């Protein structure tokens, strides 16, 4: 049996999305910047996709900008907010995705702005009281960048509360919503965010296409130059087939959000219960009680002679899992998220991440295989 339990890294493309993407690739090949009929047809589906995505997050279509991925969107937002909006201070968290932390380290290294990382609790949640205290100092124009759901350990932040703090103190708010897009209701007006991002391949769309939400009152300039696409914000001919596919994938994800959440939550709970019976003393990282993403489960196994080989042996058994962010796999350094929450390096940590396509049979198979591998020595 082959089992894909790495859905936080990427997701298989939905069959309806493949069908729609193939149709566009075959039939809608005009350049949307062209004024002839072929171009107008491409422009039409481009703008329809923009409206679909805007509706999904309760945004204005004019606030949606298409990019190649969320990493590009994050780089564009953070760097250009400093350059174009006069941001002097960015407050973030050490458990953010490297797309955020590496960008902030770059800005700090070149003294473009001050960067402050909040303390986090044992679940990896940022200290909102510390945030409030920092925001009381309004001597510098500030942007807060805090993710909605952590890609490694699944802990969620209360964006609505953080957004209300930002509004109270008149600061800008960016959130990495990659892991929650299509899985959790997102309303930019209720949450008070000025910038957020999405990536199609995290919600059963294709790779290589994403979007940025940028509030009209806080427009930034382009990072990529050379054309007037995306209303001058991002040069380069738009990936029409990918964008249409992304919009369809998000539409499907939202239509099925409630039923998918119930199924994934049940799979996660079943996996936890069976794993605790099979392997005593396993530890689950991140918040397990309320603010957590059902599709992500970070498990630290007790020290064992076969611990370092566990993930590789699971792969050999046809089971796909990861040690954390796929964007950093292969890196020699350990997880910055686990380090931030004080997790011991003696424990082998594996991230299991689920989708509605997974089954209880797969859960049972994976737990049985883990038990076999851990107890084989």
Domain ranges of the chain: 3-11+257-374, 15-255
* pLDDT at residue 26, as a whole number: 98
CATH 3.40.50.720 fits 15-255, yes or no: no
The encoded tokens of residue 166 equal 């930002």
Residue ranges, the chain, pLDDT below 50: none
- Residue 63 CA to residue 188 CA, distance in Å, equals 11
Chain segment 243-277, per-residue pLDDT in tens = 999 999 999 999 999 999 999 999 999 999 999 99
Sort strands 172-176 and 142-145 into parallel, antiparallel or unpaired: parallel
Tell me which H or E stretch contains 144: strand 142-145
- Residue 98 CA to residue 118 CA, distance in Å, equals 16
* pLDDT at residue 191, as a whole number: 98
Measured in degrees and rounded to the nearest 5, phi and psi for residue 66 equal -90, 140
- Residue 93 CA to residue 105 CA, distance in Å, equals 12
* pLDDT at residue 194, as a whole number: 99
Whether 28 and 41 have beta carbons less than 8 Å apart is answered as yes
Chain segment 221-239, per-residue pLDDT in tens = 999 999 999 999 999 999 9
Establish whether 166 is a catalytic residue: no
Kindly report the CATH class assigned to 3-11+257-374. Answer: alpha beta
* pLDDT at residue 132, as a whole number: 98
* pLDDT at residue 40, as a whole number: 98
Catalytic residue among 44, 113, 166, 327: 327
Measured in degrees and rounded to the nearest 5, phi and psi for residue 94 equal -70, -10
- Residue 128 CA to residue 118 CA, distance in Å, equals 8
Torsion sign (Cα): 184, 189, 191, 194: positive
* pLDDT at residue 164, as a whole number: 98
Q: What is the pTM of this model?
A: 0.96
Chain segment 44-92, per-residue pLDDT in tens = 999 999 999 999 999 999 999 999 999 999 999 999 999 999 999 999 9
* pLDDT at residue 331, as a whole number: 55
- Residue 41 CA to residue 28 CA, distance in Å, equals 7
């Amino acid at each position: 049996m082959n089992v894909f339990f790495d859905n936080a890294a990427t997701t298989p493309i939905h069959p309806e999305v493949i069908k729609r993407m193939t149709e566009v690739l075959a039939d809608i090949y005009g350049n949307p910047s062209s004024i002839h009929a072929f171009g107008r047809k491409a422009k039409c589906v481009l703008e329809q996709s923009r409206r679909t995505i805007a509706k999904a997050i309760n945004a204005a279509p004019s606030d949606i900008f298409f990019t190649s991925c969320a990493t590009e969107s994050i780089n564009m937002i953070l760097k250009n907010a400093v350059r174009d909006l006069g941001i002097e201070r960015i407050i973030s968290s050490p458990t953010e995705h490297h797309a955020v932390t590496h960008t902030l380290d770059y800005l700090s290294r070149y003294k473009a702005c001050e960067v402050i990382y909040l303390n986090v609790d044992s679940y990896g949640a940022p200290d909102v009281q510390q945030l409030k205290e920092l925001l009381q100092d309004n001597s510098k124009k500030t942007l807060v960048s805090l993710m909605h759901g952590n890609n490694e350990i699944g802990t969620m932040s209360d964006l609505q509360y953080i957004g209300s703090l930002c509004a109270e103190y008149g600061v800008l708010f960016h959130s990495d919503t990659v892991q929650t897009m299509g899985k959790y209701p997102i309303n930019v007006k209720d949450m008070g965010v000025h910038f957020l991002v999405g990536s199609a391949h995290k919600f059963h769309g294709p790779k290589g296409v994403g979007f940025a939400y940028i509030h009209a009152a806080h427009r930034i300039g382009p990072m990529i130059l050379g054309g007037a696409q995306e209303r001058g914000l991002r040069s380069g001919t738009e990936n029409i087939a990918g964008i249409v596919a992304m919009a369809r994938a998000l539409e499907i994800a939202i239509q099925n959000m409630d039923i998918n959440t119930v199924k994934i939550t049940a799979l996660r709970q079943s996996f936890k219960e069976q794993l605790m019976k099979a392997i005593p003393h396993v530890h689950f990282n991140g918040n397990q009680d309320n603010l957590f993403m059902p599709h992500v489960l970070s498990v630290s196994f007790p020290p064992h002679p076969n611990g370092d080989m566990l993930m590789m042996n699971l792969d050999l058994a046809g089971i796909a899992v990861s040690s954390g962010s796929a964007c950093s796999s292969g890196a020699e350094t350990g997880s910055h998220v686990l380090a931030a929450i004080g997790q011991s390096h003696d424990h082998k940590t594996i991230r299991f991440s689920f989708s509605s396509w997974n089954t209880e049979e797969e859960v049972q198979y994976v737990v049985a295989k883990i038990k076999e591998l851990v107890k084989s020595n």
